[in-house]
Amino acid sequence: DGGITQSPKYLFRKEGQNVTLSCEQNLNHDAMYWYRQDPGQGLRLIYYSQIVNDFQKGDIAEGYSVSREKKESFPLTVTSAQKNPTAFYLCASSIDLWRMNTEAFFGQGTRLTVV
Amino acid sequence: RKEVEQDPGPFNVPEGATVAFNCTYSNSASQSFFWYRQDCRKEPKLLMSVYSSGNEDGRFTAQLNRASQYISLLIRDSKLSDSATYLCVVTVISSGSARQLTFGSGTQLTVLP
């Protein structure tokens, strides 16, 4: 089955540590995204990528880093510079960034908690 | 001002009721519009796209008013399974003409037996 997979589902991090969240898709989509969702709030864009080896900052990129070495994979690293990392992280993909009415497909999310 | 604004609710309605949600957007150049549904502690999933002429999918009707910059979602004959958060989503043009999805904060709906 085609889809988008995030791992792990739950992640606990000590303060001062970097952690990497995995996102893999087998939908052959060019565009991939990382969003953060806090309780009672909408999704905020962290980073997005429209093609391999290219990525752009979203609205809240500080304290995060990404890479796009393969079309299928778009890992997100939450660094120690991110002051409030506890949140629900969602990865998404779409065919590309150019077509109208293009649906975004989401992974099941990773809940990160700083302990 | 937020780019996409929704009434957070919660909306608590009895089964069988009709309920409507509105969403306003600030960027007049927005091109595409969607409603996503998000169940508690789950990922969002596309409910329906919103077309200029309005569109219907079973019990769900979506409408777009470009002049007033709002979209709406109407749910008829509410079911218990409709309980979820409904996210309004618009596409805005970012640098280089790439389209980005911008999400509202969501409207929480609870359908009561």
The model's pLDDT over B63-111, given as tens digits with 9 standing for 90+, comes to 999 999 999 999 999 999 999 999 999 987 666 556 678 889 999 999 9
The model's pLDDT over A29-66, given as tens digits with 9 standing for 90+, comes to 999 999 999 987 888 999 999 899 999 999 899 999 99
Assess whether pLDDT exceeds 80 at residue B112. Answer: yes
Q: Does A39 touch chain B (CB under 8 A)?
A: no
A78 compared with A15, residue with greater pLDDT: A78
pLDDT, averaged across chain A: 91
pLDDT, averaged across chain B: 90
Q: What is the pLDDT of residue B64?
A: 95
Closest by alpha carbon to B2, among B90, B109, B108?
Answer: B90
- How many angstroms separate the CA of residue A92 from the nearest CA in chain B? 10
- Tell me which chain B residues have a C-beta less than 8 angstroms from the C-beta of A42: 4, 87, 103-106
Count of A-B CB contacts under 8 Å: 57
Cβ neighbour number for residue B29 with a 10 Å cutoff? 7
- Write the residue in A101, A103, A106 that is nearest to B43 by C-beta: A106
